[in-house]
């Protein structure tokens, strides 16, 4: 199984390489060279499998020869061992064909755990077998940071540097990151915005000196390993609702288009999907694209669904590649236009084809809060604001029992208690995972809005490491990270 770049000028990679890299060398994103295909009979044979068993079946279609079956089995088992629901991703039935797939039962209570817990285990295994070490540098506006930290915490093969914008993530989101005490986790709060954090990460990746010292890796949402693990829950939900005989629709709260692209991948593998609803907040660049076939930038607005406050969805390029019949020159041309002129257009036939699988919906903050309060009044259950965006979109288009619709619930409401309180007039009971953070000390360092300071810190950590042979691995480090960690202070 090989992976090719959407821009056509980067080397082909195997799964192990594709799952640990970010952008391809030509600026593109990696996609499967050939989509794995499942017949209706294959899909029917997956009915009744547990989430873990299904994950092994689906993920193995993408790993190919890279991982043997028993190894994959144990990676999957350990990835989903600390989820707080035995079904991992339980499906709740509402009325008239509407269902909610709960994707917040992982250790950090957002759906990012479903991908990152697996990826963390996979990377660790892969590095171990190649006797290599990886330094991951990432930026977060909230949920990704804690999910990535939880996924690699304690790994002897991985150091993680996570940047968040100082004062711009919620109290709970910050605590989820900064209460981690492991020596391989470095939390930095940047005096700047999320975009500044991302710019610093980009500069670090392009820095020759850093590249000489560190083997750098990325876990941002363009990572193919993350998409692979997310395909599983689309099958899991659809099988329970009668797939492959019954077609199912999905409503997906969308930011970087990773979750939507996982659904599209399931569709390309043969899962009968009626429609995928791309659900956006007031940052509606995708809704505008599906209206008019033209994508153009307008700037980002802050909303009650911060994980979806994104201008350009990075994974959209993967879909564009498929929409343009894998014409990588055309993808390159359009993406350049978007960067240089802030806009591009596709032909009416392409838009027509895109609309066969997708519809796009914009839900503003008022509608989101109303959806939370309606749902609470009807069911007594509280959904998080991101979930509410998808719920509102699904209700707008209307559902009936013959056409099941699955709303993906991407976070636990307690992560966004302010908006919940505003919507229903009471707060959410804190789950144990969050309440116990309140008593824990925080550990992070505040840094200036410059890549130089981060670079200096990374290099000084490097020089303080004492390297000792661990097993046969000359590159693994012992535990004297402590020396540099103690200087990382709160604020």
Ligand X SMILES: *Cc1c(COP(=O)(O)O)cnc(C)c1O
Positions marked catalytic: 112
For ligand X, which is the closer residue by CB, 133 or 307? 307
Helix (H, G, I), strand (E, B) or coil at 400: strand
Beta carbon of residue 4, minimum distance to ligand X (angstroms, whole number): 22
Smallest distance, Å, CB 368 to ligand X? 12
Handedness of CA 124, 149, 433, 182 (dihedral sign): positive
Shortest separation between residue 19's beta carbon and ligand X, angstroms: 16
Task: Give the nearer residue to ligand X in terms of CB position, either 163 or 411.
Answer: 411
- Nearby residues of 18 by Cβ (< 8 Å), 6 or more positions away: 3, 30, 224, 225
Burial classification of residue 86, based on how many CB atoms lie within 10 Å of its CB (0-12 exposed, 13-18 middle, 19 or more buried) = exposed
Residue 433 and residue 447: Cα distance in Å, rounded?
Answer: 28
CB of residue 112 to ligand X, shortest distance in Å: 6
State whether the Cα torsion 210-214-219-221 is positive or negative: positive
Question: Which pair of structure tokens corresponds to residue 292?
Answer: 């008019």
Quote the least distance from Cβ 119 to ligand X, whole Å.
Answer: 14
Q: How far is CA 475 from CA 156, 207, 462, in A?
A: 10, 21, 12
**Closer residue to ligand X in complex, CB, 106/255:** 255
**Nearest to ligand X of 386, 395 (CB atom):** 386
Rank residues 178 and 368 by Cβ distance to ligand X and give the closer one: 368
Reading the block at residue 447, the tokens are 């840094």
Question: By the criterion CB under 6 A, which residues form the site for ligand X?
Answer: 110, 112, 143, 221, 253-259, 307-308, 386, 410-411
The beta strand positions in 254-301, using DSSP E, are 273-280, 294-296
Judged by beta carbon, residue 310 or residue 461, the one nearer ligand X is 310
CB of 230 to ligand X, least distance (A): 8
Block residue for tokens 């610093």 = 200
3-state class percentages of the chain: helix first, strand second, coil last, to nearest 5:
45, 15, 35
User: What residue has token string 């029992």?
Assistant: 401
389, 280 contact by CB (below 8 A)? yes
């Amino acid at each position: 199984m090989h992976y090719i770049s959407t821009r056509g000028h980067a080397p082909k990679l195997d799964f192990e390489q594709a799952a640990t890299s970010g952008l391809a060398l030509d600026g593109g994103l990696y996609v499967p060279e050939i989509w794995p295909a499942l017949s209706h009979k294959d899909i029917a044979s997956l009915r009744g499998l547990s989430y873990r068993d299904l994950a092994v079946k689906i993920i193995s279609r993408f790993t190919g020869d890279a991982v043997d079956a028993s190894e994959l089995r144990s990676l999957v088992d350990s990835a989903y061992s600390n989820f707080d629901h035995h079904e991992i991703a339980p499906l709740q039935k509402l009325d008239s064909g509407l269902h909610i797939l709960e994707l917040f039962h992982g250790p950090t209570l957002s759906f990012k755990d479903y991908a990152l817990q697996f990826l963390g285990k996979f990377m660790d295994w892969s590095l171990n077998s190649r006797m290599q070490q990886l330094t991951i540098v990432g930026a977060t506006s909230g949920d990704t940071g804690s999910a990535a930290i939880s996924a690699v915490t304690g790994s002897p093969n991985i150091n993680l540097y996570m940047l968040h914008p100082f004062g711009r993530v919620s109290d709970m989101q910050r605590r989820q990151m900064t209460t981690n005490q492991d020596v391989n986790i470095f939390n930095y709060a940047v005096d700047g915005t999320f975009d500044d954090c991302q710019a610093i990460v980009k500069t670090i990746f392009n820095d020759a000196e850093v590249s000489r010292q560190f083997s750098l890796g990325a876990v941002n949402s363009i990572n193919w390993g993350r998409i692979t693990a997310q395909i599983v829950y689309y099958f899991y939900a659809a099988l329970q609702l009668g797939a492959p005989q019954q077609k199912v629709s999905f409503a997906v709260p969308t930011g970087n288009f990773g979750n939507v692209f996982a659904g599209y991948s399931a569709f390309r593998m043969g899962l009968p999907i009626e429609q995928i609803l791309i659900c956006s907040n007031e940052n509606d660049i995708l809704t505008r694209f599906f209206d008019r076939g033209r994508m153009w930038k307008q700037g980002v607005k802050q909303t009650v669904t911060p994980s979806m406050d994104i201008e350009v969805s990075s994974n959209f390029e993967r879909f564009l590649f498929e929409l343009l019949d894998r014409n990588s020159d055309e993808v390159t041309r359009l993406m350049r236009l978007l960067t240089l002129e802030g806009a591009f257009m596709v032909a009416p036939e392409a838009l027509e084809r895109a609309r066969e699988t997708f519809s796009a919906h914009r839900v503003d903050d008022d509608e989101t809060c109303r959806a939370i309060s309606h749902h609470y009044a009807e069911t007594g259950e509280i959904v998080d604001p991101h979930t509410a965006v998808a719920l509102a979109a699904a209700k707008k288009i209307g559902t009936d029992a013959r056409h099941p619709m699955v709303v993906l619930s991407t976070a636990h409401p307690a992560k966004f208690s302010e908006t919940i309180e505003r919507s229903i007039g009471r707060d959410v009971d804190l789950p144990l995972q969050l309440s116990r953070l309140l008593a824990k000390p925080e550990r992070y360092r505040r840094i200036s809005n410059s890549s130089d300071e981060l670079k200096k810190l990374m290099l000084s950590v490097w020089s303080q490491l004492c390297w000792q042979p661990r097993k046969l691995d000359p590159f693994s480090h012992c535990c004297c990270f402590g020396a540099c960690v103690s200087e990382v202070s709160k604020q």
